[in-house]
Amino acid sequence: GIGAYKSDLMQFYLNVFDWCSANAANLQAAELKMPKTDGQAAFTTAWKMHRGIIGPRTIYSTGQSTPDEYAAKAKAAGMDFIVFLEDFANLKEDGFNKLKADCRRLSGGGFLAVPGITYQNTDGNNEYAFGNYIKMPSSLLLSSDGKRFKVYKDDPKQRWLKNRSDMWIADLVWLYQSLGFNNCSGWYNFSKNPYPFHDTMGVNTMGIITQENGRTLEKVPEYYGYQARSGQFVWPLALTLMKSADEISLLEKGVYYQNVVGADGCAQLFKLFNTRWARMARNLYPETPPFGMFSITNGPLIELNMPRGDTDVQGDIYNPNLQEWQISMKVSSDAGLQEVLLMDGDTVIRRFLPKGKKVFEYKSALSKERQKYIWAVAKDIHGREAMTRDTDCDSWLMREQQCADRANQLLDSRQVRADGTPFFVGYGGDTAMPDKGPWNARIKPVGCFVFDKKLGVGGRVYDGAPESYSQVFLNPFVVYDGAMPEKVGWSHQLVSGREGAPHERPERLVASSDVLVADRILDGVYSLDTAGVTHTAYHALFPSKPSKYLESRARVYLYLIKPDGVSAYLWDQEFTALKDIPVSGNKPYVISLGYIEGRNAKERIVVNKGATVDASPFPVKQQQAFNLNKGDYLGLLKSSFGSLVIYSLTDGLVADCGSPYMLGIKPKGNIIKAGTKFRARLLLVGIPNNASDPAAVAAKIISDYGLGKNPSYKVEASQGRVAGQEYLLNLESKNDCFRGRMAGIADLSGNLGATVSRLNGNWAAIFQQQSKANKTRLIPVEKGTGYAVIRADDDAKTLCIGHPIVADRRDAVIALSRTPNWSNWNLEIHNPTNKDMKVNVKHNPAFNGFNFNETLTLAPGTSVFRDLGPVEKS
């Protein structure tokens, strides 16, 4: 639209607006139809195990051999594909275009050649990308010498800029926007990188093994386990950065690792390396080979076959589909096998000792009581090993999903109201799992209602969500000797003039139909001259170092939300001062938890010691700081999608006046001594906009959940005891279960979250509603604590929570699942130790429908299976 030329884009916008206004009535009445994925779709099982090498460099950069020489020797060694990774900093003129042409010529006849590069950014981070559609980056994305990708403006005098708009991570712009993610990419050689491995963004693979010059530079499978538990959906790779085709002989000797992919053929491999859908897809998605058939090896071969694990439970928390997930694994080695581990994220869940057998097979069923990330590791008698990609499961009732840019998690919860209509919570709300990189604890309880048809807009957008409602930003900082830290992007310096913005490490505890629980750990701070820090992928990668002033860990709980009830996030944060912190000035707090934004709220209420001390229109013209001790709360009511209420579960907090409200810990004395510990607990509640009197709902929550007083519901324990009732119902088991009756649950403003302590993470745990129906579901146990949501359906019923099958050996593994037709309970008893295990396994008499008692001896690293009979009896 410049000069006399007409703007076609402007005309397009006008046409869209005209059509939308003319069809407004139809649009308003249109139904939101959720896309459905057929988890039972038929897929071919004619997978060939394609072997390949990733990493050779050719004469086009620092290598000594041609692509033809590599291809010839790779084929002779039985390889089916080769991925070249040229050294970008040393690429010869037009070298990459020549490599692409060679790869096209060399591909065919059951062999695939793929071009790629390794590169660094200006911080020195080691990265790679490969794919047949890759094109070289513009010089605008590169350093002045053209050898590295920019992280910041290429100015040696000012590496970190004050202007956020000029700050971006150029290689992410290249991968995401220029290449459209139609490629594979990742980081490698993590020990030499300036960023922690868990900060990886915009990638779909990770080089967990790096080899060069005939030796292994780095091997970090533990990093992969962590990333798997975090739900990253990345493919583990072995990078062999060869310089000569003669090095291919080291593959046959077991010195170098191969990459193995089970696929229909090279056409499917090509899709895997070159399509955005393949890099995003779940196991057995039509574009993608089965995840359990992805492995790296220098010896054994693992074939791990599992169906898709993402489960549409049709709104039923007791759906038997969550209690059965078939697994079939075959591991082979010509040398003989020493050990096979079945992993769930970073945790060993089975340990098999084949004693030199050349083939080991395992067929069973796992359960989906939590989001799991199943992969396998095998070692032969010579110490050679193999490891697979993880296959995941989740429940559509409530789950955390990794965003395609690998920077943050997205909330997705699909329930059904009593009248049969859907109740949907989408990514307007927040997961418990933190974003990567900068500490960014934005929590939006009201956002949980945004995408529901009845309570919100009734539809979803591609990215982001409406923001016109009150929300909380819990980003910490220290007021050191009265000095208020400088604001840095979406955060603050942690300590004014002494340490930059905080960096966090995300750590998932539990993600299940019942609850999401995760920690964010303060694991570093950025440099003081790092500015423009946000949580978006393009502005989030900066070197960090440990803080000298503060340690902190914040745990977030989000239990399954009651349809049309309140949403509730429990925030539990601990601080430890590492140095003496002087206190002075007029700030009412010394450690800030963060701030609260009212946005378009219409009313404010402040309640102290049970009395309303302020109820006025918002924004308030004249404000003063006010205390928030245990049981006190601040309400910002009647915004577009609902009301936000912040309850203090801790004495000694204060809300500072102004907009936004700064929330912090009040000082005691003139100095905070090193070693001093603080704890701040908040309950952050969203009240949907269908509440006619949100102030009354806010007051009711105090009595509903026992915030500073006894709760309105009653618990009669017949086995175990009640250890606490301040929002969370903390139960303690006795003889491996809690059993009791609860009354008043149906009258609560939301669901009730429960924990059960003194359980065993090696044993299956269930929640059983002991009524005529005897509804039973498996629940997660983490570090000895079980997690369960208690709903209106459980009111006035006897509930039994714990282990239905127990043993006299706490180190024995006891797993329960349904048989494939869901008719019977299947019991697996496993010995993970190096010695014979004599163990008595029996049913727990507190539970209904289980009848088993057997003493057996298990050889080291073996399992036995028993059919416990029809589920109908329970």
Summarize pLDDT for 791-812 with one digit per residue, the tens. 999 999 999 999 999 999 999 9
The SS3 of residue 570 is strand
- The set of long-range contacts for 142-147, using a CB threshold of 8 Å and a minimum separation of 24, is 142/170, 147/88, 147/89
72, 258 contact by CB (below 8 A): no
The whole-number pLDDT of residue 56 equals 99
Confidence of residue 668 (pLDDT cuts 50, 70, 90): confident
Sign of CA dihedral 788, 793, 794, 800: negative
- Residue holding tokens 């498996």? 778
Q: Kindly report, residue by residue over 749-798, the tens digit of the pLDDT.
A: 999 999 999 999 999 999 999 988 899 999 999 999 999 999 999 999 99
At 538, the pLDDT band (50, 70, 90 cuts) reads: low
Q: Check pLDDT > 60 for residue 433.
A: yes
Q: Is 675 helix (H, G, I), strand (E, B) or coil?
A: coil
Q: Does the domain spanning 301-392 belong to CATH 2.40.50.140?
A: no
Please tell me the CATH code under which domain 48-298 is placed.
3.20.20
Helix (H, G, I), strand (E, B) or coil at 601: coil
CB under 8 Å, gap of 24 or more: what pairs does 457-466 form? 458/32, 459/32, 460/32, 460/426, 460/427, 465/426, 465/427, 465/428, 466/428, 466/640, 466/641
Q: Which of 231-245, 286-300, 349-363 has the lowest mean pLDDT?
A: 286-300
Confidence of residue 279 (pLDDT cuts 50, 70, 90): confident
205-222 residue pLDDT tens: 999 999 999 999 999 999
**Tokens found for residue 170:** 């150029």
Side-chain-side CA neighbours of residue 56 (13 Å) = 31
Q: What does the alpha-carbon distance between residue 643 and residue 86 come to, in Å, rounded to a whole number?
A: 55
Tens digits of residue pLDDT in 57-108: 999 999 999 999 999 999 999 999 999 999 999 999 999 999 999 999 999 9
Total Cβ atoms within 10 A of residue 531 = 23
Between these two residues, 724 and 487, which has the higher pLDDT value? 724
- CB contact at 8 A, 582 and 667: no
Beta bridge partners of 717: 740
Name which of 195, 184, 268 is nearest 234 in CA terms.
Answer: 184
158-172, 490-504, 754-768: least confidently modelled range: 158-172
pLDDT number for residue 541:
83
| Residue tagged 């057996």 (tokens) | 856
- 513's enclosing H/E stretch is none
CB 814 within 8 A of CB 803: yes
Domain positions in the chain are 48-298, 301-392, 399-704, 714-873
Four-point Cα dihedral 179, 185, 186, 188, nearest 10: -120
- φ, ψ (nearest 5 deg) of residue 397: -65, -40
DSSP state string for 608-634: ETTEEEEEEESS-SS---EEE-TT-EE
CATH number of 399-704: 2.70.98
Asked if pLDDT for residue 827 goes beyond 50, the answer is yes
pLDDT at residue 236 tops 70:
yes
The reported pLDDT for the residue numbered 657 is 77
Q: What per-residue confidence (pLDDT) applies to 157?
A: 43
| Three-state secondary structure readout of 285-315 | CCCCCCHHHEEEECCCEEEEECCCEEECCCC
What band does 470 get if pLDDT is binned at 50, 70 and 90?
Answer: very high
Q: How far apart are CA 786 and CA 510, in angstroms?
A: 10
pLDDT > 70 fraction of the chain, expressed in percent and rounded: 93
The pLDDT value given to residue 465: 78
pLDDT at 151: 81
Predicted local distance difference test score (pLDDT) of residue 40:
44
Residue 688 confidence class, pLDDT cut points 50, 70, 90: very high
Confidence of residue 672 (pLDDT cuts 50, 70, 90): very high
Write the CA distances from 289 to 49, 261, 268, integer angstroms: 10, 7, 7
A 10 A CB-CB count for 840 gives 13
- Sign of the C-alpha dihedral, residues 610, 616, 621, 622? negative
Work out whether the CA dihedral 172, 173, 179, 180 comes out positive or negative: positive
Q: State pLDDT tens for residues 843-858.
A: 999 999 999 999 999 9
**Average confidence score pLDDT of the chain:** 92
